[in-house]
Amino acid sequence: MSEDGHDLAREATALDGADALAPLRAAFVLGDDTVYLDGNSLGALPRTVAARLAGVVEQEWGRLGIRSWTESGWWTAPERVGDRIGHLVGAAPGQVVAGDSTSVNVFKAVVAAVRLAGPGRDEILVDAQTFPTDGYIAASAARLTGCRIRAVAAGEVPRAAGERTAVALVNHVDYRTGRLHDLPGITAAVHAAGARVVWDLCHSAGALPVELDADGVDFAVGCTYKYLNGGPGSPAYLYVRRELQPRFDSPLPGWNSHADPFAMSPDYTPAQGSARGRVGTPAILSLLALEAALEVWDGVHLAAVRAKSLALTDFFLRCVEAYVPQGAVESVTPAVHGERGSQVSLRCPSGAGAVMEELVRRGVVGDFRQPDVLRFGFAPLYTRFADAESAARVLAEAVAP
């Protein structure tokens, strides 16, 4: 051990005492005996959500019924919630719509990007380490549009993009390793090659600053149940840059994205603005639960979130180095701040799955990715430095012979 455990525990207490985001922890439902480090899979429950859902069910659905589409603002919820998300990813109002799943929105964005491409552009570049579903959807989009798929490492996308590239689909943060990819640089390089780019923000939105407008991103998608704490299966979102919206040709036109939905016309005329990204009837209960969950972000600065995220992950890595026997685990998350998201992934060559099961049994909740990766997600709104120190201490016990 390179540092004394008592010193690290005292340091954790001091860091928590100086943490400006610490009061936000009280806004979440968290077990007193659990160290929850799985916010990169499912965020904790904000306390406002249960009461909001009860009100929606009892009053808006129960008493007002169908009148709530207008009187309770149900009809405009996808755009209203989308603008709340847009504020967290650097998008001005009117460019983000909330709804559907990440997979569905990936499909919309990739096919629409191919349809925007010029003649001879028949290649879809895919991040070789992408979350599997993104790859499946991209492959389906390629079959439907007559394109070919080419998988390359995210860092190689700038060199790989060429005259045949229609669109590149890239994950902002690698879900296995926590590696943060260069969104501004990759976007600029893909544009220089004459192509479009679709970014998957599932592991970055709510964990670090994202500047979609400033960086000229074409399309972006993401889920809301990780760092945005929207709840299991909460609606995803789709960003379409304002200049592209008039030419956004969704492969899934639905009555909800029609310019006049209630005309029930047999011919499709797309709505203007972000509503063009809608498809069918919104899932109102989960959408309004998400809206309540997003209230916790009011007044929160993403720069402060990022600073705490980096401090937490740095501290956790120090604690792991101090407590865990040498060789038992190895970090596969970049040490360089500019290349790190808000998680730490540790390769555990000896029984990683069983180690995570033991951690969970002892009250430290992370997750496991085959074949040998332990993942620990740090949600700065509610994760404490004491949690990081405790998790490393328990990890050392779990990997002990």
Question: CATH code at 374?
Answer: 3.90.1150.10
Q: Tell whether 309 and 291 lie within a shared domain.
A: no
Whether the Cβ atoms of residue 344 and residue 207 lie closer than 8 Å to each other: no
Band the pLDDT of 1: cuts 50, 70, 90.
Answer: very low
The arithmetic mean of pLDDT across residues 279-283, rounded, is 97
The amino acid at 311: A
Give the structural domain span for 357. 5-30+300-399
Q: Tell whether 281 and 345 lie within a shared domain.
A: no
Which of 375, 376, 382, 393 is an active site residue? 375
Is 345 known as a binding-site position? no
Is 382 known as a binding-site position? no
Q: Which of 272, 297, 322 delimits the end of a domain?
A: 297
Q: Tell whether 133 and 146 lie within a shared domain.
A: yes
The arithmetic mean of pLDDT across residues 369-385, rounded, is 97
Is 371 known as a binding-site position? no
Which of 127, 200, 367, 372 is an active site residue? 200
Pairing of strands 45-46, 28-29: antiparallel
Which of 131, 237, 239, 385 is an active site residue? 131
Residue 5: per-residue pLDDT: 77
Whether 239 is a known active-site residue: answer no
CATH number at residue 95: 3.40.640.10
Q: Which of 246, 262, 297 delimits the end of a domain?
A: 297
Q: Tell whether 239 and 227 lie within a shared domain.
A: yes
Band the pLDDT of 207: cuts 50, 70, 90.
Answer: very high
CA atoms within 13 A on the CB side of 346: 30
Count of domains observed in the chain: 2
Candidates 381, 372, 378, 373; CA nearest to 391 is: 378
Q: Tell whether 333 and 264 lie within a shared domain.
A: no
Q: Tell whether 272 and 304 lie within a shared domain.
A: no
pLDDT at 3 over 80: no
Average pLDDT, the chain: 97
Q: Tell whether 282 and 354 lie within a shared domain.
A: no
Q: Looking at the domain assignment, is residue 44 inside a domain? A: no
Is 250 known as a binding-site position? no
Whether 225 is a known active-site residue: answer yes
Q: Looking at the domain assignment, is residue 35 inside a domain? A: no
Whether 323 is a known active-site residue: answer no
Is 103 known as a binding-site position? yes
Q: Which of 266, 297, 328 delimits the end of a domain?
A: 297
Q: Tell whether 83 and 20 lie within a shared domain.
A: no
Q: Tell whether 200 and 138 lie within a shared domain.
A: yes
Name the 3-class secondary structure at 65: helix
Residue 401: per-residue pLDDT: 75
Query: Which alpha helices (DSSP H) does 258-378 contain, by range?
Result: 284-294, 302-323, 352-361
Return all residues near 55 (Cβ < 8 A) that are at least 6 apart.
none
In this predicted model, what pLDDT tens digit does every residue of 117-129 receive, in sequence order? 989 999 999 999 9
Return all residues near 39 (Cβ < 8 A) that are at least 6 apart.
226, 227, 229, 377, 378, 379, 382, 383
Q: Looking at the domain assignment, is residue 341 inside a domain? A: yes
Q: Tell whether 78 and 211 lie within a shared domain.
A: yes
Is 132 known as a binding-site position? yes
Q: Looking at the domain assignment, is residue 280 inside a domain? A: yes
pLDDT at 189 over 90: yes
Q: Looking at the domain assignment, is residue 46 inside a domain? A: no
Is 204 known as a binding-site position? no
220/95 Cα distance (integer angstroms): 10
Is 102 known as a binding-site position? yes
363/357 Cα distance (integer angstroms): 10
Q: Tell whether 220 and 345 lie within a shared domain.
A: no
Name the 3-class secondary structure at 165: strand
Q: Looking at the domain assignment, is residue 61 inside a domain? A: yes
Whether 375 is a known active-site residue: answer yes
In this predicted model, what pLDDT tens digit does every residue of 131-150 receive, in sequence order? 999 999 999 999 999 999 99
Which of 226, 276, 308, 384 is an active site residue? 226
Secondary structure element (H or E) that encloses residue 332, with its range = none
Q: Tell whether 125 and 273 lie within a shared domain.
A: yes
The arithmetic mean of pLDDT across residues 91-107, rounded, is 98
Return all residues near 299 (Cβ < 8 A) that are at least 6 apart.
none
In this predicted model, what pLDDT tens digit does every residue of 21-46 receive, in sequence order? 999 999 999 988 899 999 999 999 99
Whether 372 is a known active-site residue: answer no
Q: Looking at the domain assignment, is residue 288 inside a domain? A: yes
Which of 107, 225, 316, 385 is an active site residue? 225
The pTM of this model reads: 0.97
Q: Looking at the domain assignment, is residue 45 inside a domain? A: no
